[in-house]
Amino acid sequence: MLERPDEPSLLEALAKFLIADLHPTVKDKKLAFRVLIASNIATTLATQLRGQQERRGAEQERLRALLGRSGGTVQELNAALAAKLRAGGLSADEMDRIADCLKQSLQESLAVVNPSFDTSLEIE
Amino acid sequence: MAETQRTGEALAGAVEALLSERAGAQVKVRELQPLFGGACQDNYRVELTFSGGELAGDRRMVLRSDANQSLPGSVRRKDEFEVIGAAVAAGVRTPRARWLSEGLVRPGAGAYFLDWAEGEALGRRVVKHPDLAAARETLPEALAAELAKIHTVTRAGTPGISLGREYPPGKSPSAAALAFARLMADQMKEPHPAVELALRWLSDHVPAGEEETLVHGDFRVGNFLVTPSGLSAVLDWEFARFGDPMEDVAWLCLRDWRFGQLQLPAGGLARRERFYDAYARASGRAVDPRKVHWWEVMGNLRWGVGSVMQGERYLSGEESDLELIAIARRAVEMEYEALRLIEKGA
């Protein structure tokens, strides 16, 4: 019974209310800044919810392939990968493959929390 | 704990009593206003009138007191007071600290007064505001000169300083920083393989030939007061410690402290070469880009883990500021930047 409006639409409405209606009326600078933060959290949550399943599925697939496993949740796989890195003794090749996998997942998270984040290697 | 904190007239009265005893003159508090504090300290703007002595007349100062808690790696006010004394003695442009005391604002809390300095601190305005355009022209050289002065302070030359929790003598700056980063990473409640990868890389690429001097520890845009005529003061010594001078150079260049001016790595103000050259001229110490690169990876790792911990302070119920939980969502930016720097190389 709660399908429409869906969660991302509600979060976007909340974000819009905070930024367009509430923010201009708040005189206190510290509070006004928190209204901006609140609006930004709602916006990024809407984006996050829209792509959540696909993103999580893709991360899980990548981690399973990297670790050569057929099962495991994203959380479990990340814990296994963290332990492997901590133990050390990995070849340069393995390190590169792990780094590529992690950068892919981080890029997908960045697309949610900060879509304008520039990932170019050209930045000094 | 809040109920044991002195506020309003009670605090003003305690300030008058303390300063009348310590400053060699009768002191009146005309006004006392809380300022935006940090996580680890309470700050107040205090308008004072001194009846005589070297400070005779009206004076504006900042009262800085320990808060209920401290962040990992941050120092208490007593240590900070000693560091500021050493920095002032080395000629660093930073407000003088006076009258260290205990229990002024809350029981057991250290506190002192800072001379007031004018200027803009907010990062975005410092790197962008049109009124500060002329100041920005002079900032890279001015900051390099101040940093060189900070780095003249050595442990051997300042026996009065009791700093050194993070960098105990006998451990190299990189080894101590690695141990500290490990400790912080272990406090995270979720696995962060990118943090582990960065730690692994850092352990495998420790720079050779380290030095040890006083480091500011948070030398970045946001902690500098800037007026239209230039740099007014370097502030916020709460992360000061003994470490490798290249650590401060790297921290200034950290991506997050460029405030959007990505093409100007030195604080969003200058290209690296210009700042490195200015620092080398002022300090007589060449900047080793490989060392800066190592410390920049370390800096991103630290700030990434630090931002996760900010969120934990909210989630634990200890704090209720929305900004803290929002900062935790930004940890992926620092994690990515650490991996990007590793891939890019020095």
Instruction: Tell me: pLDDT of B2 over 50.
Output: no
Rounded to 5°, angle at Cα B191 from B189 and B197: 135
Question: CA dist A122 to A11, B38, B262, B296, Å?
Answer: 35, 35, 10, 16
Point out the least confidently predicted range of A59-68, A109-118, B66-75, B276-285. Answer: B66-75
Instruction: Tell me: pLDDT of B119 over 60.
Output: yes
pLDDT above 70 as % of chain B: 94
Tell me what pLDDT residue B171 has.
Answer: 83
Q: What is the dihedral of CA B181, B182, B187, B191, to 10 degrees?
A: 110
What is this structure's pTM?
A: 0.92
Instruction: Tell me: pLDDT of B245 over 80.
Output: yes
The stretch B270-276 carries a mean pLDDT of 97
Instruction: Tell me: pLDDT of B160 over 60.
Output: yes
Tell me what pLDDT residue B139 has.
Answer: 98
Rounded CA gap, B92 and B114, in Å?
14
Q: Strand locations in chain A, DSSP E?
A: none
Write down the ipTM of this complex.
0.94
pLDDT in tens, B27-39: 999 999 988 756 6
Q: Which helix (H) or strand (E) holds B45?
A: strand B41-50
How many angstroms separate the CA of residue B83 from the nearest CA in chain A? Answer: 30
pLDDT in tens, B220-241: 999 999 999 999 999 999 899 9
Q: Which of B196, B203, B335 sits opposite A106 (nearest CB)?
A: B335
H helix intervals, chain B: 8-22, 77-89, 123-128, 133-150, 173-185, 193-204, 245-253, 272-283, 289-315, 322-328, 331-344
Give the pLDDT band of residue B333 (cuts 50, 70, 90).
very high
Q: Which residue of B has its CA nearest to A36?
A: B323
How many angstroms separate the CA of residue A76 from the nearest CA in chain B? Answer: 9
pLDDT in tens, B83-107: 999 999 999 999 999 999 998 988 8
3-state secondary structure of B234: strand
Q: Which of B323, B330, B336 sits opposite A106 (nearest CB)?
A: B336
- Whether the CB of A99 is below 8 Å from some CB of chain B: the reply is yes
Instruction: Tell me: pLDDT of A3 over 60.
Output: yes
Token pair 């001016």 in the structure block, residue? B261
Q: Structure tokens of A1?
A: 């019974």
Tell me what pLDDT residue B73 has.
Answer: 64
